[in-house]
Structure 1
């Protein structure tokens, strides 16, 4: 059976499993069902960006279910197919693959890619190749130059280890039975949890070693998780290969041309245009590393230090990469932001999941001391009483007798009618010491 997995990355850049499914087939209808079901499980919040294999059925299903999401194809998967689709040609033209990679990866702008691609096709006389024509038609969904303005958390999938397809390779195969699949799925989750817990521990207990006296590196070491710090450290080290070759003033914006030498053979280096607005504290680079990966590039850092700014501005430090990502306030801020944007849950299950997430902050604060616990318990009792009154007045709990008998039961209490259910709840809320089980109204809708 076709296996579909939803994978992202956590604050350490590690792969995270959001969910998966076994499909009957790979038709558009199956993928539409898959995406709608997953969307419901995610409280109706669609992904801002999604990466898939190059597949027409998936492409059209995403257009229907996730019309606002930025969809890209797995770059590694596409480049792997080059040798398959042009096998004999690649063997006869050994430089083609290298030039293709150079065209795809090293084109800073859309215009540069278009020029390089056109020249590549002409040089190797591949204008009539059907698969390459199809690839070019879909270029906006796989060529980095077209996608650098969208945040993909660094998931470029340019290497096999980053490929979503390879995520389960060490756990599953075509011979895996359904029972084995469930066991392996749990084992996969356990391994992921262990890796994340280990990375959390190392971030909090191990101070990363600095390689330069740069204030940017010191700031990054104190803010980011260790794995993300290593990526930023490479950018700091890369500053030594950069210099400002030209400076222009365009109103409030200072334009820096940063030249970077990648190796000794590139005598002229490569130019990167960086725009700095000092009054608004805004900076952008033509390479769009921040937009794509979520941290500033070496070219922007060179421009900042030249402008007399020794620290990365706070709005260029994404919470999702920092040590504070584990802080209980981050999730709370995220939920508030979603509510302000109008992304409110619409179904009962979505409301239930949303309230569970929000209540975790309430529980954490309430458990810090006996005083806060008493306050939380008192306010919780008052809130539940109000909810019971509202729900009863709206007829929310008018359910068949047999459903109450099935759900509302425990060794110490048995509620077979709506009246006895309400009576039990009222007794619990009036007496703080009576810690009786209280069943959530969601259970009546199972």
Structure 2
């Protein structure tokens, strides 16, 4: 799924190019315009704003229920002919959560805040005028910071036991599987199941077990247990939206005396690191084994023709039978690398070499220098 603002060009492009992608408009941008679009006579009506927000942001409404609720608000406040509300209702499938209930994670990704928060995070590490090398180094630093935070959370998940709200074995099992953040979310559903939900009816046959669950708002939900598949589903569709079990299913778990949550209801993104890694490692190992068997059946000693093939493919030419290009003859080098003793020495080199020699006393003049009695006058003058 991709979330954007109400750009018609992007809508057309996404529809034509990203054909398998669910496109959604940012709800925050739409609701931000609400006070600018309602008539002036309704600006001070807080009840209108509350009713529209409750209708629009609700995750539990079916599309038909949303439409009835929306039309009821439009009639009560005489907004049926306001252009903006008419347009938003016509495009309701692009932004209202009721039309994303069957899409995985649809209720979590409603706005562009996810990408905006990532942009804000990376801006703390990068600069607008960085060159490519600086950008890559800063990007690596940003990833290192994220990995460091993730490692800290993984360590906390493996060492800290969260406080429990009940004596239910299911809650303790959830604490061993979910990360700390997700366990708190699931824990709220378990508490609601124990204290705020009740069984209002039960129907059984050889294939299905249908339970009617009433929540704290006196609204009824239907939980269906399929015996042949050992699977549970609820009409609230929370698991389909957020990949966590709802309080209604947890109540059925409790009534059926389940002690552990079935593995099929754990999403890998919400599991503790070692639990998620073990599942991934098992799949990786199986894949490596299959790859090894496949390679062993096809491996062979490459022939001389096979060895020359990459060269032919690269140069688009056959390898010559006789190589006529020979290495050049070695010539003596010049300059400081030469071994010849005939090289001319400059006056500067002579002076440096002379100054490096120790001083000695001349027996003719008695002075210390680089001359002796044989060339005392000539060298002394120089």
TM-score of Structure 1 vs Structure 2, range by shorter chain: 0.5 to 0.7
Paired residue for 1:77?
29
Contact kept, 8 Å, 1:153 with 1:294, in 2: the verdict is no
Bigger relative contact order (CA 8 A; separation at least 6):
1
Q: Note the alpha carbon deviations across 1:38-93, whole angstroms, 9 max, x for none.
A: xxxxxxxxxxx333333323322222332123333333333233234448465232
| 2:160 equivalent to 1:209 | no
Q: Note the alpha carbon deviations across 1:230-250, whole angstroms, 9 max, x for none.
A: 111111111111111122346
In structure 2, stretches of 5+ residues that fail to align are 321-382
| 2:275 equivalent to 1:322 | no
| 2:50 equivalent to 1:101 | no
Offset, 1:117: 1.0
Paired residue for 1:420?
none
Contact kept, 8 Å, 1:256 with 1:274, in 2: the verdict is yes
SS in 1 for 2:81: coil
| 2:283 equivalent to 1:333 | yes
Q: Which of 254, 261, 265 in structure 2 is aligned with 1:305?
A: 254
Contact kept, 8 Å, 1:157 with 1:163, in 2: the verdict is no
Offset, 1:309: 2.9
Q: Distance in 2 between matches of 1:60 and 1:393?
A: 51
| 2:48 equivalent to 1:110 | no
Paired residue for 1:199?
153
Q: Distance in 1 between matches of 2:184 and 2:304?
A: 53
Paired residue for 1:231?
185
Contact kept, 8 Å, 2:100 with 2:107, in 1: the verdict is no
Q: Distance in 2 between matches of 1:334 and 1:144?
A: 37
Offset, 1:134: 2.6
Offset, 1:291: 0.8
Structure 1 pair 385/235, CA: closer, same or farther in 2 (3 Å)? same
Contact kept, 8 Å, 1:75 with 1:156, in 2: the verdict is no
Offset, 1:154: 5.8
SS in 2 for 1:210: coil
Q: Which has the larger radius of gyration?
A: 2
TM-score normalised according to structure 1 size: 0.59
Paired residue for 1:91?
43
Contact kept, 8 Å, 2:224 with 2:232, in 1: the verdict is yes
Q: Distance in 2 between matches of 1:62 and 1:210?
A: 46
Paired residue for 1:124?
77
Offset, 1:125: 1.8
Offset, 1:384: 11
TM-score normalised according to structure 2 size: 0.68
Q: Distance in 2 between matches of 1:292 and 1:166?
A: 22
In structure 1, stretches of 5+ residues that fail to align are 1-48, 263-268, 337-357, 363-375, 403-416, 418-446
